[in-house]
């Protein structure tokens, strides 16, 4: 069986994780603020390989599972039109930072996503921001907007990407840390 809830014994103790099969190239491990472990893989990955991957990341999972005991804030989809206005406003605030670097003003979309805060389709000139960002502090919405705009300069998350983020928003890492205190759910 591929996917579903799984349990694996590691040298540090048992780990329960939710395995999802998606059209992805790499194994993607996520630790949600509520402490749940999620692994997404392609269809080609066996259960044995998924378990082995979790075992290899056990130290990281146990080290990051406790985020200071702060409870996660669960976000559900807000009004889409209001969220679209907030997304446009955030891009309007952040775009002047990247415009001098040759970034054209992108089209902005707002949609609820359960595993991402935003996405960038740099080839088509589109930035999509999660509607749930309407419910977080404005500086966190601005961080996500800038993150997606910087992808027009650096499509990946390499050194160049992070160098531009640091130059334009020196506290981006703190904002990202704060944003991780929120969990996306379609219903509560």
Whole-number pLDDT of residue 85: 94
Whole-number pLDDT of residue 26: 83
Q: Residue 128 forms beta bridges with which residues?
A: 109, 119
Q: How many CB atoms lie within 10 A of CB 176?
A: 15
Output the six-digit token pair for 38.
């999620």
Whole-number pLDDT of residue 52: 93
Measured distance CA(162)–CA(48) in Å, rounded = 35
Determine the angle formed by the axes of helices 58-65 and 47-56, rounding to 10 degrees.
60
Determine the angle formed by the axes of helices 172-179 and 138-150, rounding to 10 degrees.
120
Whole-number pLDDT of residue 69: 45
Could you state, in chain order, the average pLDDT of each consecutive group of 10 residues for the chain (188 residues)? 81 89 87 83 92 88 62 69 94 98 97 88 94 92 98 95 97 91 64
Q: Residue 129 forms beta bridges with which residues?
A: 110, 118
Q: Which domains does the chain show, CATH number per domain?
A: 4-68 (no CATH), 75-184 (3.30.2010.10)
Measured distance CA(15)–CA(157) in Å, rounded = 28
Measured distance CA(29)–CA(47) in Å, rounded = 15
Whether this prediction's pTM lies above 0.85 is answered by no
């Amino acid at each position: 069986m591929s996917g579903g809830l799984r349990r694996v014994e590691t040298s540090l103790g048992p780990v329960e994780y939710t395995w999802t099969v998606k059209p992805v190239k790499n194994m993607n491990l996520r630790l949600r603020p509520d402490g749940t472990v999620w692994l997404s893989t392609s269809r080609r990955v066996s259960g044995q390989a998924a378990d082995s991957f979790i075992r290899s990341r056990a130290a990281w999972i146990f080290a990051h599972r406790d985020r200071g005991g702060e409870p996660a804030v669960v976000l559900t989809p807000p009004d889409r039109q209001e969220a679209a206005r907030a997304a446009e406003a955030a891009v309007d605030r952040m775009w002047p930072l990247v415009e001098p670097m040759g970034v054209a003003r992108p089209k902005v979309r707002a949609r609820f996503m359960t595993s991402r805060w935003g996405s960038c389709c740099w080839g088509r000139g589109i930035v999509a921001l999660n509607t749930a960002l309407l419910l977080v502090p404005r500086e966190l919405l601005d961080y996500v907007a800038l993150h997606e705009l910087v992808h027009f300069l650096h499509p990946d998350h390499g050194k160049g990407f992070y160098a531009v983020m640091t130059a334009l928003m020196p506290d981006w890492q703190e904002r990202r840390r704060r944003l991780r205190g929120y969990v996306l759910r379609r219903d509560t």
